[in-house]
Amino acid sequence: MSRKVLCFGELLLRLAAPASERLLQSPRLDICVGGAEANVAVSLARLGHEVAMVSVVADNALGQAAVGELRRHGVDTRSVRAGAGRMGLYFLEAGAIQRPSRVLYDRAGSAFARADADSYDWPALLDGVSWLHLSGVTPALGASGAAAAIAAARAARQAGVRICFDGNFRSSLWQEWGVDPAPILHELMSQADVLVADHRDIAVALATQIDPHAADGGLAKAAELAFAAFPNLQRLACTQRQQRNVDHHALSAVLFHRDGSTISTPAYELPSIVDRIGTGDAFAAGLLHGLLREMSDEAGLHFALAAASLKHSVPGDFNLVDAQEIEDLLSGNGFHVRR
């Protein structure tokens, strides 16, 4: 059986204020490559998997640099093409103590958003693939992104390729487009075998209300509704985050299975967070790693949470850790100097 994973989404450039400064407090921005699906692709490549990226970047030096960064980490970029338009950007202002972080998107008119939804040959792109990874960011970018994501999911389902979908609800992007996200997200989730989603993602897709003040944050109700609505769904997982302050979180995880079983983890205390961007993507990649390695659900969930926890220590969007580092954390040997 093929172990190839295909990730579809937009490559972004992240421009961040240095340290904990406000945006443009000083005339400097730190730049790195990111994007939800690209983050998953890099994580999986570093965990030893064959993974390819499908995307469209600007036909200029910025697009070339973004593709080169993925290639440097072992991602197959032969299905990333250049097109008319610009690179999508996002600006990050990292918070501190009681001041929350802020993200400003600048993605309108990007090469990815402008790409024709019919320009992707999904049967060819999915040939030899075992998993397709998508997220809710792509359909939020506009009609073309939504149509392309739905076409990819339907083609994967028809070809017997399993689908992992990360809800990644971005209200500001959907508001900019001005469309009801519910029917689009419902269609994408209905194709998925695995959902990385919380109560809000499910509530939006099903156009309903889920009480976030329930003992488990509404997750059990969200899982019940999701399994009833989405017949292909086998697993729903997400992290649970308690914020002591901006720099100190406690992170745990829970997984619901269609057979009715539920697995939850103890929390990791993360008292000196370096960078929380991309931690959800690190979690999704960890889950896929567990499935690809045929781990038990419990082992896979613990691996995914450890991967997400370690990402909090790594600057940038990508989770630049390997499987041994994650296993060391799980075994309690993560604090020893590796020589």
Residues 8-45 pLDDT 10s = 999 999 999 998 899 999 999 999 999 999 999 999 99
Which tokens sit at 106? 């600048």
Contacts of 197 (CB under 8 A, 6+ apart): 165, 166, 167, 189, 222, 226, 236, 238
Element (H, E) at 167: none
Q: Within 10 Å of residue 128's Cβ, how many Cβ atoms?
A: 12
pLDDT tens column, 195-232 = 999 999 999 999 999 988 777 778 999 999 999 999 99
For residue 304, pLDDT over 50 is answered with: yes
Q: Give alpha helix (H) positions in the chain.
A: 36-46, 61-72, 111-114, 122-125, 137-140, 143-159, 171-177, 182-191, 199-205, 219-229, 279-292, 297-311, 323-331
For residue 1, pLDDT over 60 is answered with: no
Q: 105 has which bridge partners?
A: 90
Domain ranges of the chain: 4-331
Which one, of 117, 136, 233, 122, lies nearest residue 184 by Cα? 136
Which tokens sit at 303? 């691996």
Between the alpha carbon of residue 254 and those of residues 216, 238, 283, the distances in Å are: 10, 6, 11
pLDDT tens column, 282-297 = 999 999 999 999 999 9
Rounded CA separation 121/21 (Å): 44
Mean pLDDT throughout 100-104?
93
Contact 12, 53 (CB under 8 A): no
pLDDT tens column, 112-135 = 999 999 999 999 999 999 999 999
- CATH fold for the domain made of 4-331: UDP-N-acetylmuramoyl-L-alanine:D-glutamate ligase (3.40.1190)
Which one, of 128, 130, 76, lies nearest residue 292 by Cα? 130
